[in-house]
Structure 1
Amino acid sequence: MQFGFSTNAFREYQLEDAIEELADAGYDGVEILLDEPHLYPPNATEDEIARVRTVLDDNDIAISNANAFMLTAIEDFHHPSFIEPDEDYRRERIDYTLAALDTAAELGAPHISIEPGGPIPEGKSREWATDAFVDGLREVAERAEAVGVDVMVEPEPDLLIETSDEFFDLVARIDSERVRCNFDAGHLYCVGEDPTALVADLDEFTTHYHLEDIPADRRHEHTQLGEGSMDIDGFLGELDDRGYDGFVTIELYPYEETPVETARGAMAYLEERGWA
């Protein structure tokens, strides 16, 4: 398998500088944050996209994923979401995701990851929220099919789609092979599931994995590899046994103050354990 690192930990860096640091740290790939301050699709120019491609080529590093989950350019990580009660505000998330697919296609990225609906609004039912998300996701899927880029729903604690069962229920309502799963091992661990056991169950929908460690109490806190309670060796061993040769991207966005040291520390852990 190959390892990437997400630039959402490098929000204090220019994107090109982050790419160079991650290549120097030994990563095979980089997950590009499609949000400010990196590459924000609604405003990204052809020249900016070309510069990113040049830096990737010059450093011999691939795109592991394009992260279209966070949206701090408008508000925060989770808002606007696909399930905002205000239709115009909800439309901003949909339009951003359509633009993200276009940008990913121009970059040559194989897929984008998106939030799993969003937080269920106060006063709205799960049924209403799911219907709203399905409507938006169907429109997004049409664009994904047109540009040849997968759109990966990423289950997350406290959002509409948290568990593998909820993901299966969602994808059953979307008639598109472009709608996939961004398998975040830590997120699934947080909601009481066993990521290692789920690899086989979600295999047909998974083209990319996120990995971070999680504290023993399973609170949603992205933690440096080896400093939490997850069975990382068991998880990576399952991927290896199944012959997975795609990307596992390390996502440690809380470490914005020490992104270079954190990325190097994660790589050192992987190398010491014999995975990289």
Structure 2
Amino acid sequence: MKYALCNETFGDQPFEQAFATTRELGYTGIEIAPFTLMPGATVSDVRNVPPGRRAEVKRIAADAGLEVVGLHWLLAKTEGFYLTSPDPAVQQATTDYLKELAELCGQLGGKVLVLGSPQQRNLLPGVGYEQAEEIAASVLREAMPVFGEHEVTLALEPLGPAEGDFMLTAESGVTLAQLVDSPWCRLHLDVKAMASEGKPIADIIRDNAAWTAHFHANDPNLLGPGMGEVEFEPIFAALQDTDYDGWVSVEVFKYEPSPEAIARQSIEYMQRIEAGLAG
């Protein structure tokens, strides 16, 4: 397995410190939330990240021995973007911003954008699910040529009902990807989200293996893998059985007892699971 860590885990620690710690703990990839590129900014807009800062972040990662996996939390802390809005102006703005994100990702050396951002995709008043799905497909479809230009994959992230009401299952993520109809639009799987489906997580992984481009490891308790009730043996067995060769990124939403402790416990647990399967 290739293990990565989501960089917002370390809060406002300088990238040099956070990335060095990430590598020391055994991770070889770093996944970046765009809003962390502009610390202190009230509103995140990657168009305000100058070329020098982009080159600097890429260098910091390389100096730490990390590969930039890609970006996630794409629309968090932004304004004016919405995946399922019926407003044509908002649709165009969202498409254009996704193009900017694809360019940024490519410049950092990343290969995947994880599209979660439930607060910018949930159903708006008067918009039914099928209409929202068609709007989202149209918004994403127009951006795909730029994704192809930078060789960046958009990975659609289903989220559980606690987060919202649009794209709640892996099946619905695949349906949207099929509507977009581009080799640069695929599926992202997240353990916390899959745990809400009422179907064994291993079965979800196997059923959607052909579409899966990226993977987040965590637990419904918002902590890391092995820190809750979800057992990862069948999850990793399914990933191995389906020849998944992408990244397994740790994404958590609680940071106690400390970011370092969570990152360490998570990777040590996953490495034990992997070693057990190999043995």
Q: TM-score, normalised by structure 2?
A: 0.85
Aligned to 2:140: 137
1:155–1:187 CA contact under 8 A, matched in 2: yes
1:71–1:80 CA contact under 8 A, matched in 2: no
Structure with bigger RCO (C-alpha 8 Å, 6+ apart): 1
- The CA distance in 2 between the partners of 1:167 and 1:60, in whole Å, is 33
Paired amino acid for 2:146: R
- Cα 1:159–1:94 change in 2 (3 A) is farther
SS of 2:56's equivalent in the other structure is: helix
> How big is the shift at 1:257?
7.7
**Greater helix content:** 2
Stretches of structure 1 that go unaligned for 5 or more consecutive residues are 216-221
RMSD over aligned Cα atoms: 2.4
1:154–1:181 CA contact under 8 A, matched in 2: yes
- The CA distance in 2 between the partners of 1:70 and 1:260, in whole Å, is 26
- Report whether the alignment pairs 1:190 with 2:196: yes
1:15–1:38 CA contact under 8 A, matched in 2: no
Paired amino acid for 1:66: L
SS of 2:186's equivalent in the other structure is: strand
Stretches of structure 2 that go unaligned for 5 or more consecutive residues are 40-44
Aligned to 1:99: 100
Aligned to 1:112: 113
Percent identity, aligned pairs only? 21
- The CA distance in 2 between the partners of 1:252 and 1:207, in whole Å, is 19
Show CA shifts across 1:41-70 (max 9, x none): 211222111111211221211123321534
- The CA distance in 2 between the partners of 1:81 and 1:21, in whole Å, is 35
Paired amino acid for 1:144: F
Aligned to 1:176: 182
Aligned to 2:47: 42
Paired amino acid for 1:3: Y
> How big is the shift at 1:37?
4.7
Paired amino acid for 1:124: V
- Report whether the alignment pairs 1:237 with 2:242: no
> How big is the shift at 1:91?
4.1
SS of 1:261's equivalent in the other structure is: helix
SS of 2:17's equivalent in the other structure is: helix
Q: Please show how residues 52-91 of structure 1 align to structure 2 within 5 Å.
A: 52-72=57-77, 74=78, 80-91=81-92
Aligned to 1:218: none
1:213–1:229 CA contact under 8 A, matched in 2: yes
> How big is the shift at 1:119?
0.8
SS of 2:223's equivalent in the other structure is: coil
Aligned counterpart for 1:212 among listed residues 207, 218, 232: 218
1:2–1:246 CA contact under 8 A, matched in 2: yes
Aligned to 2:168: 162
Q: TM-score, normalised by structure 1?
A: 0.86
> How big is the shift at 1:153?
0.7
- Cα 1:52–1:128 change in 2 (3 A) is same
